[in-house]
Amino acid sequence: MGVPTGGRRVLPEPDVPRRAITTCGPDGAPRPFDPVRPTEPPAEAPNVVLVVLDDLGFGSSSAFGGPCRMPTADRLADDGLRFTRFHVTALCSPTRQSLMTGRNHHAVGMGATTEMATSAPGYTGYRPRSAATLARVLQGNGYSTAAFGKWHQTPPAEISPVGPFDRWPTGEGFDHFYGFMACEMNHWYPLLYEGTTPVEPARRPEDGYHLSEDLVDRAVDWVHTQRSLTPDRPFFTYLAFGASHAPLHVAPEWRERYDGEFDGGWDRLREATLARQKALGVVPGHTELAPWPDGVPHWDDLDDTRRALGARFMETYAGFTEHADAQLGRFVAALDELGAMENTLFLYLLGDNGASGEGGIEGTHVEHRLGHGMVDDPTDMLGHLDEIGGPASYPIAPVGWALAMNTPYQWTKQVASHFGGTRDGLVVHWPAGIADRGGLRHQFHHVVDVLPTVLECAGIPQPTSVDGTPQQPVDGTSMRYTFADPDAPDRRRTQYFEMCGNRGVYHEGFTAVTRHGTPWEMVPTDSGGFRDDVWELYDTTTDPSQAHDVAAEHPELLARLRELFLVEAAKYQVFPLDDRVTERENPRLAGRLDLVGDRTSVTFRGSTRRLIEEAVPNIKNRSHAVVADVEAPAGGGDGVLVAQGGRFGGWALYVAGGRASYVYNFFGLRRHTVRADHALAPGRHEVRTDFAYDGGRDGRGGTATLRVDGLVVGAVRVDATVPYYFSFDETFDVGVDLGTPVTDDYATGDNAFTGTVRSVRVELTAPEPEPGPEPEGRHRRVMASH
């Protein structure tokens, strides 16, 4: 029949030899014609839907006893299974790389996020071809595949119009992609791609736009089209929401659903959540709340201002989360309408790590400020209370709520040593394959187990070769053995964990762990080395929340488990340990590919759009010039010549009322603007800004001098600059400022330049020398806000 038959071990399967036809015309050809067809899926193979929420802790969702009402999760859990001891890696990209490959994150080069990649084998950010993705394996077995939402697995140096594109979703096994590539995204003004092409939403927030709704609209459209055109093929849909990662963006009506519900604070919420978890059976009845970390205030210690702010942050987080779950409900309704839910293996992962403590003690109105060590004043934030969650904000909640969202466990996202960073709820729903409706599964499992589970359920073997490359072993263990047997013995007996120097190992019920850093604090330069870290030991068979350290009682066991960690770490490329965060976000300091390299001048055409920070010259912490070759219309024109960043930090060279202008936006706190006194005459001009950096340490100020056709037309003193990154969701654009505006001078309507931008050239001085040790009391690193 012309169908490949390679046993599915080698993908793509070899072509079937076809008999040569020697007749001159079609009359002698065999009837019926034998069409060329791809590998067919196994009979009765289920559709697969994999949904991931972001920065959601074990104790966040109502399905696992949390305060965020999630009716879709509840419905799927009540008709499927809750996995209560499921683990992830403590940070975004590593969890997603493990999810897609079935391998431990260091084993596939993702020891940290893509923005923190280095040249060390376990941290390059490049998935090896020997670890084909779940999407590629299903695609090679006859599935239609599509991904929507957050990706965050492509090396930043490859996120540009020139690629290469083999590590984009459409190069890793997805027929279709609509979503974003970065760690986080503005849900009101997102940077999106369809396939590999940047696209702009057709609507804006004032028109009712929201990213979570857009993603589900696209997913519903795709699955309807797939069912119409190829109903004989199963589909794989990967839907990865940006919620509930910062920025916490949601319409007021969703936030208002929780009005007043968190006024009692995070301490009382932890107690109430634990009680609900016990009633649901997702934790044992003897579970205790894990200890509260030193340095984080209890709710009763806060003043009225901080309580009002804290409640509003949590209302926004909960509304954001419920809104995402409600959108997923629309996707489930579409599958119901198509009659597809019965034979759809639906995995709903309620978090890619624990809830984020990166909001610090106070929380923040603009996340990027806190990421650079700047703490918003609570009194000032209170004056913007009603903006939290809206387009004028970029908020993240205080650490107290993150600890509550991770109830009953210790610590938060980034902390791979403790369950607060690594344990999330998993719901599995598959009516055709699971008879136990509403069941609980308490076996220990890890995100690497998803790929082998899906393949076993689909009747597909793990391939030995994909696209000509022999495959490295899959590290995961299928969870299907638990579907029919809630009391089946654990098949995953050992699992290591490591993130940003926080590390641990699980073995047969015991965990040996050491926390190297605190996510919501700056890490000082004189922090102790890895050999100084104190290890803890927990018996999770009797102490499921890691509340009681028994290291002193069992020193020999702790020593054996520490040795086991070393063995696992060596096996999976964990070494060398690396606790740097901010430094690794600078390609030069991290030792990864820098597209600009040693060039000191780069010219962009006037049509250049949507370039991320790692694709353009880095103008931070050095003197530089931006030179625009433009043609002005009558009156001088209006609009943007070139811009980088947006409302919460960046710079722009533009024309306002015919007059050449430059603005430097310092985290949305201060905007330093210089403007020519006279309008541009019609015709061609060179509009130039020279920025003379003060030198010395990162983030110092400088003077911006504006020139038109070589003549100085103004200057402005900039007292401080953004040292590390403008944003993860805004871009470098020529002739327009896409996303949010850097300045209110062109905040409304179309800001494209009404004349012509022929080119923009960025000129760089030599980079500043590396500074010596910071003065006492200063810190050099910031949190992994992604």
Query: pLDDT tens-digit profile of 347-396?
Result: 999 999 999 999 999 999 999 898 888 999 999 999 999 999 999 999 99
CB atoms within 10 A of CB 681: 14
* Confidence band, pLDDT 50/70/90 cuts, at residue 33: low
Looking at residues 247-268, what average pLDDT do you find?
Answer: 98
pLDDT value of position 594:
85
Instruction: Return the higher-pLDDT residue of 776 and 671.
Output: 671
Q: In terms of Cα–Cα distance, which of 555, 577, 565, 538 is closest to 419?
A: 538
Residue with tokens 């805004």: 730
pLDDT value of position 2:
40
Amino acid at site 548: H
* Confidence band, pLDDT 50/70/90 cuts, at residue 755: very high
Task: Flag whether pLDDT at 769 surpasses 90.
Answer: no
Q: Give me the DSSP letters along 690-732.
A: EEEE--SSTT--EEEEEEETTEEEEEEEES----S-S-SS--E
Instruction: Return the higher-pLDDT residue of 773 and 678.
Output: 678
Task: Flag whether pLDDT at 30 surpasses 80.
Answer: no
Instruction: Return the higher-pLDDT residue of 354 and 528.
Output: 354
pLDDT value of position 57:
97
Task: Flag whether pLDDT at 194 surpasses 50.
Answer: yes
The domain over range 47-65+75-485 is classified in CATH as 3.40.720.10: yes
Regarding pTM above 0.85, the answer is yes
Looking at residues 143-159, what average pLDDT do you find?
Answer: 97
Task: Decide: helix, strand or coil at residue 647.
Answer: coil
Q: In terms of Cα–Cα distance, which of 98, 100, 102, 99 is closest to 111?
A: 98
Cβ contact 348:86 at 8 Å: no
Looking at residues 257-267, what average pLDDT do you find?
Answer: 98
In the chain, what percentage of residues exceed pLDDT 90?
A: 87
Cis-peptide, bond into residue 164, ω within 30° of zero: yes
Instruction: Return the higher-pLDDT residue of 36 and 276.
Output: 276
Q: Which fold has domain 497-585?
A: Arylsulfatase, C-terminal domain (3.30.1120)
Domain spans, the chain: 47-65+75-485, 497-585, 595-764
Distances, alpha carbon 370 to alpha carbons 520, 697, 722, 783, in Å: 9, 19, 12, 8
How far apart (Å, rounded) are the C-alpha atoms in residues 675 and 746? 14
Q: Is the dihedral of CA 67, 72, 78, 82 positive or negative?
A: negative
* Confidence band, pLDDT 50/70/90 cuts, at residue 524: very low
pLDDT value of position 28:
64
Average pLDDT across the chain, whole number: 93
Helix, strand, coil percentages (3-state) for the chain, rounded to 5, are 25, 20, 55
Task: Flag whether pLDDT at 38 surpasses 80.
Answer: no
Task: Flag whether pLDDT at 153 surpasses 80.
Answer: yes
Query: pLDDT tens-digit profile of 392-436?
Result: 999 999 999 999 999 999 999 999 999 999 999 999 999 999 999
How far apart (Å, rounded) are the C-alpha atoms in residues 436 and 433? 9
- CA-CA-CA-CA dihedral for 177, 182, 188, 189, to nearest 10: -90
Task: Flag whether pLDDT at 283 surpasses 80.
Answer: yes
Among 450-464, 476-490, 508-522, 768-782, which is the least confidently predicted range? Answer: 768-782
Cis-peptide, bond into residue 291, ω within 30° of zero: no
Residue with tokens 């897609």: 100
Query: pLDDT tens-digit profile of 687-738?
Result: 999 999 999 889 999 999 999 999 999 999 999 999 989 999 999 999 999 9
How far apart (Å, rounded) are the C-alpha atoms in residues 628 and 648? 24
Looking at residues 7-22, what average pLDDT do you find?
Answer: 82
> Rounded to a whole number, what is the distance in angstroms from the first to the last CA of the chain?
50
pLDDT value of position 31:
59
| Runs of H (alpha helix) within 471-543 | none
How far apart (Å, rounded) are the C-alpha atoms in residues 178 and 158? 17
Query: pLDDT tens-digit profile of 651-666?
Result: 999 999 999 999 999 9
Region of 128 on the Ramachandran plot (φ > 0 left; ψ -120 to 50 alpha; else beta): beta
Looking at residues 306-327, what average pLDDT do you find?
Answer: 98
Query: pLDDT tens-digit profile of 529-576?
Result: 899 999 999 999 999 999 999 999 999 999 999 999 999 999 999 999
**Angle CA 647–648–650, to nearest 5:** 80
Q: Which fold has domain 595-764?
A: Jelly Rolls (2.60.120)
How far apart (Å, rounded) are the C-alpha atoms in residues 335 and 628? 51
Identify the burial level of 597 via C-beta atoms within 10 angstroms of its C-beta, where 0-12 means exposed, 13-18 middle and 19 or more buried: exposed
Query: pLDDT tens-digit profile of 450-466?
Result: 999 999 999 999 999 99
Task: Flag whether pLDDT at 338 surpasses 80.
Answer: yes
pLDDT value of position 585:
76
| Runs of H (alpha helix) within 460-601 | 555-571, 587-590
pLDDT value of position 188:
98
Cβ contact 408:274 at 8 Å: yes
How far apart (Å, rounded) are the C-alpha atoms in residues 320 and 298? 24
